[in-house]
C-alpha cells in the first residue's frame, strides 16, 4: 500500500468518524445500521474473492463466513470452533505414536564430527596466546 493510499484511507476514516459524531450530537443514531453495513461490506468482499478470476476461493469463503457470522451475531461460534479444533489436534498429536524412531547418525558423520571437534594446531596456538595475556 503506497503512502498516498494510506493517507486517503485515514482521511476517509476520520471523515466517517467525524460525521458519525455530528449525527450523534443531532440525535441521529446509526450505530445499529453500522452493525449491518460492516458485515455486509465484508461479505461482499468475500463474494468478490469467490467469484473473481484472481481471488482465492478458499479465502473468499472464509471472509464471507466471517462476515455472515458477524451479521447474525454468532462470531464467537467461529472462535470457539477454532479453539476446539486446535485442542483436538493437540491431543491427537500427543497420543499418536511417532512415525519413525530417531536414529543415530551414520558412521561417516560421526567420524567427520570427531575430526572437526579434535583439537588442532590452531587451537593449541590460541590457548598458548591466551595464557600469555
Per-residue pLDDT tens listing for the chain (133 residues): 456 666 887 888 889 889 888 888 888 878 777 888 889 988 998 888 888 877 688 888 988 999 999 999 888 888 899 999 999 999 998 898 777 767 888 888 888 888 777 777 777 788 888 888 7
Residue 88's pLDDT is what? 96
Residue 55's pLDDT is what? 67
9: in domain: no
In angstroms, the CA 68 to CA 55 distance is 19
What is this structure's pTM? 0.49
* Of residues 53, 54, 75, 83, the one with CA closest to residue 62: 75
In angstroms, the CA 67 to CA 42 distance is 5
In angstroms, the CA 65 to CA 79 distance is 12
In angstroms, the CA 4 to CA 14 distance is 15
Instruction: Give the domain extent around 59.
Output: 32-94
Query: How many independent structural domains does the chain possess?
Result: 1
2: in domain: no
88: in domain: yes
125: in domain: no
Report, in angstroms and rounded to the nearest whole number, the Rg of the chain calculated over CA atoms.
Answer: 31
Q: Which residue intervals of 52-103 are DSSP H helices?
A: 57-72, 75-95
67: in domain: yes
Residue 91's pLDDT is what? 92
Amino acid at each position: 500500500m503506497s503512502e498516498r493510499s494510506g493517507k486517503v484511507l485515514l482521511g476517509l476514516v476520520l471523515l466517517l468518524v467525524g460525521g458519525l459524531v455530528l449525527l450523534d450530537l443531532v440525535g441521529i443514531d446509526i450505530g445499529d445500521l453500522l452493525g449491518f453495513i460492516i458485515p455486509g461490506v465484508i461479505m461482499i468482499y468475500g463474494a468478490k474473492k469467490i467469484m473473481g478470476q484472481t481471488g482465492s476461493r478458499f479465502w473468499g469463503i472464509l471472509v464471507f463466513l466471517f462476515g455472515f457470522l458477524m451479521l447474525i451475531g454468532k462470531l464467537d461460534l467461529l472462535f470457539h470452533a477454532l479453539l476446539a479444533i486446535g485442542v483436538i489436534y493437540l491431543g491427537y498429536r500427543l497420543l499418536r505414536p511417532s512415525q519413525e524412531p530417531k536414529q543415530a547418525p551414520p558412521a561417516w558423520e560421526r567420524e567427520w564430527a570427531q575430526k572437526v571437534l579434535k583439537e588442532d594446531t590452531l587451537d593449541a596456538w590460541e590457548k598458548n596466546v591466551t595464557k600469555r595475556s
